[in-house]
Chains A and B, each alone.
Chain A
């Protein structure tokens, strides 16, 4: 029994130290122009989703959004988000530059709710290319963006026209 406890303790200590040493010595890969493994993607995506769900639980319900709010949110998207997240009405283009790759929202849509989207845009996601936009957008802007993002892969052609008035959808 004594030996069992000793082995158990050694494992609990050695493994985290080993991981830190592996990283500190520089064995981890840093280049961003490769794809994360499926295991890494699913593990981390579900961790992020669970964390956002927990953190955004205290965010109040969104104010009801009308078409004007969606257009306003869409214009914010075109001005501030589409460089990484994909052009509204554009062709699908996989991201090979950031790791993890940026979700191409006009094509994939999102599983997050409006309060969760509000929270993500405001606070960002650490250790990804998603920075925190809380310092740059008003509450109203954050909510209009969240309402737009919720519906981004489900917009009527007329709505896209209104967001990008001078370009064909």
Chain B
């Protein structure tokens, strides 16, 4: 048993040192403009969602789910998110594709996150991605309207789509 423990200890040390040497030698590929391998992508996205599910408070959206809220959120989205996440009714964002991992294209794909989770991600960001924390830029209510909007993508009521386009963001 003692020998097993010694072996386990030696294995751990070798693993950690091996990892550090690998990093120090520069063998880790750091370029963004390469596709994310499928298994890596699956692990990344599910790991991030699991963490958000675990940490985001189960808050209730304080705003009514009506066209007004969606239009307010849509304006914020057009103002600040389309650059990376894509615009409704337009082709996916070329810029969002140059991140590693790439920015999700909500107008096409929607999101699996609940509104409370979208709110939390928009407020606090996602580390080791291009997603910056927006909590110091927008109020909680603004972020809730944004979360409501993103939660309704890709199926926006036609009136909302018109409303956003008629009232372009300042």
Interface residues of A (CB under 8 A from B): 1-12, 15-16, 20, 23-34, 36, 43-44, 46-55, 96-100, 122-136
Contacts and interface: CB of A to CB of B under 8 A. Distances in A.
Contact of A4 (B6, B28, B133): B6
B4 A30 contact: no
Interface in B1-53: 1, 3-12, 14-15, 20, 23-34, 43, 46-53
A130 B30 CA distance: 11
A51 B34 CA distance: 15
Chain B residues touching A, range:
35 or more
A133 B33 CA distance: 9
B132 A129 contact: yes
Contacts of A136: 95, 98
B8 A7 contact: yes
Nearest to A30: B51
B153 to A, nearest CB: 21
Contacts of A99: 125, 127-128
Residue among A30, A44, A96 with max Cβ neighbours from chain B (10 Å): A30
Nearest to B32: A124
B8 A29 contact: no
Given A4-B3, A29-B51, A55-B26, 14 more contacts: A3-B4, A4-B6, A7-B5, A7-B9, A7-B10, A8-B14, A10-B8, A16-B15, A29-B127, A97-B132, A98-B132, A123-B31, A134-B98, A136-B95
Contacts of B133: 31-33, 96-98
A57 to B, nearest CB: 10
A44 B30 CA distance: 11
Nearest to A31: B124
Contacts of A51: 26-30
Contact of A132 (B10, B20, B33): B33
B55 interface: yes
A26 B50 contact: yes
A129 B4 CA distance: 44
Contacts of A16: 15
A104 to B, nearest CB: 15
A100 to B, nearest CB: 7
B131 interface: yes
A24 B50 contact: yes
A44 B19 CA distance: 12
Contacts of B126: 30-32
Interface string B118-141: 000100111111111111100000
